[in-house]
Amino acid sequence: MGSRWFILGVLFLARTAIGFQFQSVASTAPDMIQDFNLDYARIGTLIGFYSMPGILMAFPSGLFGQRFGDKAIYAAGLLLMISGGALMGIGDGFSMALVGRFLSGAGAVLFGLALTKMVTDWFAGREIVVAMGVFLASWPFGIVLGLLLQGPLAHEFGWRSVMHVAALSCGLALLLLVLAYRPPPATAAAARVAATPAHWRTLPPLPPLRHLLPLTVASLMWAGLNLGLVIFFSFAPELLREHDVSTARAAALTSAALWILMFSVPLGGYAAQRSGRSNAAIVVFSLLAGLALLLLPGGVLPLALCVVFGVAVGPPAGPIMALPSRVLNPEQRSVGFGVFYTWYYLVQTFGPALGGLARDVWDSSAAALFFGAILFIAIPPLLLLFRALEARSRVAVPG
């Protein structure tokens, strides 16, 4: 019992490096705009570029994970994240920043997919919703650390120092995993089988089409929730400043929502699993999060709306991320999560640029937040579609 919760703590701390590095562009955007003569659409592109490698790499990463094991995949991922962060820190223009961001994102694909599978291996069939809720809180925790530390760091030492510190956090994550992580016994035995030459010559088992369809819908739900969150912490500070909120207070309000989110994700997952109302949690709280984003541009009660948003985004996260375990067998997880993350990264790549474009076209961050609200409101219909496809996937195929 205690062993798997210790492992979850290790994975939580390691995954904060993704959130911290992801936030580095948003935290230093004003300085980068000035240095590289950018607009917000290009900043949005740079934010989204972190996710672009996932479109091409997520599915092959699942195959590689099946072949070479979790340790090789997360180590390769973290080394790429370190390299990309260092390159952004020494880059002399937008093009080199894109290359560095791409390398970092490629590493995050490998790293994130390996960690998600590792949590599933330890908790499938027992407290999976709670475990996913705790695990997923690591990303906003890394972002909150970025909001608190990266701005002052950039002000004191320049924005390039932020990129180097983000790369250093990836190195610390690698050291932590090498020293503290071990796979569950069943997975370790499977890895020994996968290492044999005969197994290398066979194709890993692919999930059947009837499982891929609900898996795709679950991925779109997860991508929409995360993109809505990205839109919030990328554009809410500027929106609040448009309503004459000071820069420091705007950052405090945004980070307050993320601090709350760190607790609402695991607690919401725990409540959903204990009550058996995971679907209701997804529907009610995703609609509530969308409503908070719709109302925030009105400039009324910004603190209350940020609190509501932070509370509302948490409960759907664990239940949504647990959906793949309902359609994937253990031997299908590496490849299945590769499919899951392919769709996720597709949305995450182009979504921030759309948010930035909306902000430029309407000359207000309110447009970007309205876009984020639509993403949350779309989650309940997608859940209905998932349930229909999941039920169909359980029907035995004739023959």
374 CB burial (10 A radius; 0-12, 13-18, 19+): middle
d(CA 150, CA 160): 10
d(CA 163, CA 186): 39
Q: Using pLDDT thresholds of 50, 70 and 90, give the confidence band for residue 54.
A: confident
Evaluate if residue 193 carries a pLDDT over 60: no
Evaluate if residue 188 carries a pLDDT over 60: no
Scan for tokens 């929409």, then name that residue: 224
Q: What mean pLDDT do residues 21-36 have?
A: 85
Q: What mean pLDDT do residues 323-348 have?
A: 79
Evaluate if residue 37 carries a pLDDT over 90: no
Residues 245-266: tens digit of each pLDDT: 777 788 788 878 878 988 898 8
Evaluate if residue 337 carries a pLDDT over 50: yes
Instruction: Give the chain's domains with CATH numbers.
Output: 2-393 (1.20.1250.20)
d(CA 319, CA 137): 13
Residues 208-229: tens digit of each pLDDT: 666 788 889 999 999 999 999 8
Question: CA 40 → CA 19, 46, 62, 225, 360, distances in Å?
Answer: 21, 10, 34, 22, 7
Residues 269-322: tens digit of each pLDDT: 888 878 888 899 999 999 999 999 999 888 788 888 899 999 999 899 889 988
Closest by CA to 209, choosing from 311, 122, 332, 313, is 332
List alpha helices for 91-208, DSSP H. 94-123, 128-136, 138-157, 159-180, 185-194, 197-200
User: The pTM is what?
Assistant: 0.74
Evaluate if residue 185 carries a pLDDT over 80: no
Closest by CA to 48, choosing from 284, 307, 223, is 223
